Amino acid sequence: MKKLFITVFLVMVVLTFSVPIFIPQEVPYLTKLQLIITALITLLIPFLLLSLIISALITRHLHVQLERMNIGGINLLFKQPDRIFLNSVQTFLETKRTLYKVDKELDNFNETLDSYFETYQFFKKEMMILDLKKDEQKKLYDLSAKIIAKLNLFLTTYQNNYRRWYKNTIDENKITIFEDGNEKELNKNPHMMRIGELQTYYYDYDEILKGFESVNAFFREEVNSTLKVDINKWEDE
């Protein structure tokens, strides 16, 4: 291998410095030095880089794992699409506890809504690599469609109202409730309250909790039967 590398390297050097011989002297604005530099950049440097990569791979000092590549909007897949999908989705969901379990005392519902919307967008993108003509991939596609529909229903039902209430409450630093059809301002400072306590003053608190419970049950029972995320690690939290 070493002898082959040296031989090819010497050939490339000779070719580099021989380039001016094959170029007519009448070529305007080009000196022999410029031609040598051009040949050096065009031939020798790429060869050296390629040689370093090949050497590193052979000696196991470099590991390259490429699953997919996007060129001009075209996806090139180097593994089976269903394997790529499962690997990507499982890695993503490992960081999304609130899809499986919402802690009403500690979780900020506003941030949880962000996470749900991120998940909604993620599945819309990832499901595009699946082939509907293949049974296993069709099942994953159908599950993704259910996830998107479930999250879309939840976000449509609860997102706008809660975000508006939360923003106004934090911006104005006051809590307003309704009693007998009239507004009443409480003598409380939202900035000094625990998030779990603050959220209980949301006028649709019980309903949004039911929405979270529905999403959590869906992911634990239906989604996790296929995508196999380790949810036991969250049980003690």
Residues 44 and 134 in one domain: no
Contact by Cβ (8 Å): 58, 51: no
Three-state DSSP at 187 gives: coil
Residues 47 and 100 in one domain: no
Residue 183 lies in a domain: yes
CA distances from 233 to 109, 152, 191, 215, 236 (A): 21, 27, 32, 19, 7
Q: What is the pLDDT of residues 69-103, one digit of tens each?
A: 454 444 444 457 888 889 889 999 999 999 999 99
Residue 102 lies in a domain: yes
pLDDT band, very low/low/confident/very high, at 67 (cuts 50, 70, 90): very low
Residues 54 and 127 in one domain: no
Task: Calculate the CA 171 to chain-centre distance.
Answer: 31
What pTM was estimated for this model as a whole?
0.67
Residues 131 and 228 in one domain: yes
Number of domains in the chain: 2
Domain holding 88, by residue range, is 80-234
Contact by Cβ (8 Å): 90, 229: yes
Encoding tokens for residue 26? 């009448």
Q: What is the pLDDT of residues 133-184, one digit of tens each?
A: 888 889 999 999 999 999 999 999 999 999 999 999 999 999 888 777 777 7
Please, what's the b/e burial string for 144-174 (b: 16 or more CB within 10 A of its CB; e: otherwise)?
A: beebbebbeebbeebbeebeebbeebeeeee
Residue 50 lies in a domain: yes
Residue 119 lies in a domain: yes
User: Which stretch of 2-16, 57-71, 146-160 has the lowest confidence by average pLDDT?
Assistant: 57-71
